[in-house]
Amino acid sequence: MISIEKLSPAGGGKGVEKDTNYMSNENNKYYNKKLQPFAKALRSDMTKAEACLWKYVLKARMMKGYQFRRQRPVLNYIADFMCKELNLIIEVDGITHTYEVVAQNDEKRTSDLEKHGFTVLRFTDEEVLQQIDRVFNSIANWIETNATVPPPGPRQRGKRKGKIPE
């Protein structure tokens, strides 16, 4: 049976057919390729709170050296932010997440993600926009307490194996 799952940073938005054909190997962390076009569209249409969290906290390995991805398709959802190395998903919830039906969907989403080994941290738009330092510290504290792997080293771009430096 195919059902429609509503996906967006605010819990509403574009309808997508529910799918269980996601990649489940260790590197891909349940990446759902069928949601890729929707995730790409959401990356170019981030909320103000998401843009601030990305720019000031998560972008370019600013959070303790860990790489976060924005609008990452995982299972049948699109996570606002995800760190594969930590199995950590960060959600930024707008005003619509106070509505009962959206809150229930959030609970199911969190439960599904946790069953697959992820931790979900949720922050409201107001927390991100008005208390960004507290949000930063909350994420940093979670990492210090729960990280079981060190951050990966920086990627080496443009260097070929076997090439002798001149």
Can you tell me which residue has the tokens 């260790």? 26
Higher pLDDT, 158 or 155: 155
Taken in order of first residue, the domains within the chain and their CATH numbers are: 4-18+30-146 (3.40.960.10)
Higher pLDDT, 25 or 12: 25
Task: Decide if pLDDT at 3 tops 50.
Answer: no
Q: Of all helices (H) and strands (E), which one includes residue 126? A: helix 125-130
Task: Decide if pLDDT at 122 tops 50.
Answer: yes
Report in angstroms the alpha-carbon separations of 67 from 17, 18, 51, 75: 29, 28, 16, 20
pLDDT digits (tens, 9 = 90+) for 15-52: 344 445 555 555 667 887 888 887 887 888 899 999 99
Query: pLDDT band for position 112 (50/70/90)?
Result: very high
Mode of pairing for the β-strands spanning 69-74 and 14-17: unpaired
Q: Which of 1, 5, 31 is nearest to 105 (CA)?
A: 5
